């Protein structure tokens, strides 16, 4: 099969197109012929080596976390899927590799593809959908009438999170460029702040939850708009000692993460705000819940561009440029 790999961590080096054997299919696995793969900022960060402390991958490594495709083989213990099923998935850590023609996926990480989506649309959903779900439903436990601030609303996570937060009954504020205002209003945002010309800290107060995806300065400003008892959930760091325990990191990693996050944790405690870091995980059951929302028309995918498989490096570069409105997808078959 054809695949795109990294041989060493590098910000500048392109992915290498290689020919590889088909992956082994374990007893709980489905072998999937990939039709489309989503491209995420996470792929770029792993390529650059930003996560090698908490995700020590063996190189060479096939990149890619999101896939939509067709089951072509099943392991002997598989019960959820059969050959010919159309599925989508955010594959689990240490088993990534969707920038390829085939991948073996543990059945617990996959779900049946929404019937009303194309393969390309479906491939845009899993990572951003599960991120938004785990932030808003699982951790923030958003209830009707609560106020939620979602940063970078026009990005991949943002376009999904705005729709999910609105479905949960929240008042939704977000930031974006002026050209994205209409898009975000149509997705359900109540307040869209032009980040180039306005300061959200001066416009928002007493919020229940913040989904932080930006830099340290934005993280600290977000802390100041939360009410006592509010939740600041960051998907861009800094990771915490609690997260280190969750991933069973070595003791020295726990110490490093404790130091990196000590400042924001102290400031959050002083304000009686719960700060946590979320590194989303694969979860086929949650993805099945997301499928229901998509098939009922509550949530719609937002796809900016679809690149051919041969243009995988261009797709990753486009994601790195920060210009994408919604998701970028690679069409593999």
- How does DSSP classify residue 300? -
Q: Mean pLDDT check: name the lowest of 113-122, 137-146, 241-250.
A: 241-250
Could you tell me where in the chain the CATH 3.40.50.720 domains are found?
Answer: 128-277
3-state secondary structure of 177: coil
- Four-way CATH pick for 128-277: 3.40.50.1980, 3.40.50.1820, 3.40.50.720, 3.90.226.10: 3.40.50.720
pLDDT for the residue numbered 25: 98
The predicted model gives 118-134 an average pLDDT of 98
Q: Does residue 102 contact residue 23 with C-beta atoms inside 8 Å? A: yes
The predicted model gives 297-325 an average pLDDT of 97
* Concatenated DSSP letters of 240-270: -HHHHHHTT--HHHHHHHHHHHHHHHHHHHH
pLDDT for the residue numbered 184: 98
Burial group, residue 167, by CB count within 10 angstroms (0-12, 13-18, 19+): middle
Please give the span between the terminal C-alpha atoms of the chain, in angstroms, as a whole number. 12
Tell me the per-residue pLDDT of 148-190, one tens digit each, with 9 for 90 and over.
999 999 999 999 999 999 999 999 999 999 999 999 999 999 9
Tokens, residue 167 = 């479905």
The predicted model gives 208-230 an average pLDDT of 97
pLDDT for the residue numbered 218: 97
Q: Does residue 160 contact residue 125 with C-beta atoms inside 8 Å? A: yes
pLDDT band at 289 (very low <50, low <70, confident <90, very high): very high
pLDDT for the residue numbered 318: 97
Between CA 240 and CA 290 the distance in angstroms is: 28
Fold classification of 2-125+302-331 is Quinone Oxidoreductase; Chain A, domain 1 (3.90.180)
3-state secondary structure of 75: coil
φ, ψ of residue 231 to 5 degrees: the values are -125, 125
| pTM greater than 0.95 (yes/no) | yes
Q: Does residue 211 contact residue 225 with C-beta atoms inside 8 Å? A: no
Could you tell me where in the chain the CATH 3.90.180.10 domains are found?
Answer: 2-125+302-331
pLDDT for the residue numbered 189: 98
The position carrying tokens 């979860």 is 283
**No. of H helices and E strands in the chain?**
11, 16
Q: Does residue 70 contact residue 86 with C-beta atoms inside 8 Å? A: yes
Q: Which of 149, 155, 118 is nearest to 44 (CA)?
A: 155
Long-range CB contacts (within 8 A, 24+) of 183-190: 183/154, 183/159, 183/302, 183/325, 184/153, 184/154, 184/159, 187/153, 187/159, 187/162, 187/163, 187/300, 187/302, 188/162, 188/163, 189/150, 189/153, 189/162
pLDDT for the residue numbered 254: 95
pLDDT for the residue numbered 68: 98
- Please give the C-alpha separations between residue 150 and each of 184, 216, 301, in angstroms, as whole numbers: 11, 15, 17
Q: What is the mean pLDDT of the chain?
A: 97
């Amino acid at each position: 099969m054809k695949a795109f790999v990294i041989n060493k961590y590098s910000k500048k080096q392109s992915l290498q197109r290689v020919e590889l054997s088909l992956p082994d299919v374990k007893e709980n696995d489905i072998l999937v012929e990939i039709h489309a793969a989503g491209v995420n900022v996470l792929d770029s960060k792993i390529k650059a080596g930003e996560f090698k402390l908490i995700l020590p991958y063996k190189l060479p490594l096939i990149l890619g976390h999101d896939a939509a495709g067709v089951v072509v083989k099943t392991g002997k213990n598989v019960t959820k899927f059969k050959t010919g099923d159309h599925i989508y998935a955010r594959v689990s850590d240490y088993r990534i590799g969707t920038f390829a023609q085939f991948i073996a996926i543990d059945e617990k990480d996959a779900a049946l593809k929404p019937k009303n989506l194309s393969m390309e649309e479906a491939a845009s959903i899993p990572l951003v959908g599960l991120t938004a779900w785990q932030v808003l439903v699982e951790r923030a436990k958003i209830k009707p009438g609560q106020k939620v601030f979602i940063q970078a609303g026009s990005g991949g996570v943002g376009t999904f999170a705005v729709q999910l937060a609105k479905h949960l009954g929240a008042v939704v504020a977000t930031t974006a460029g002026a050209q994205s205002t209409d898009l975000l209003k149509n997705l359900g945002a109540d307040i869209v702040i032009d980040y180039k010309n306005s300061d959200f800290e001066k416009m928002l107060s007493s919020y229940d939850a913040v989904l932080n995806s930006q830099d340290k300065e934005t993280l600290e400003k977000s802390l100041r708009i939360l009410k006592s008892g509010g939740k600041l959930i960051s998907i861009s760091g800094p990771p915490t000692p609690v997260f280190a325990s969750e991933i069973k990191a070595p003791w020295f990693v726990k110490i490093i993460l404790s130091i990196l996050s000590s400042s924001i944790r102290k400031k959050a405690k002083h304000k009686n705000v719960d700060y946590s870091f979320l590194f989303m995980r694969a979860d086929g059951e949650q993805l099945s819940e997301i499928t229901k929302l998509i098939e009922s028309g509550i949530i719609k995918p937002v796809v900016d561009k679809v690149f051919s498989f041969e243009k995988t490096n261009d797709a990753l570069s486009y994601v790195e440029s920060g210009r994408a409105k919604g998701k970028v997808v690679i069409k593999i078959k």
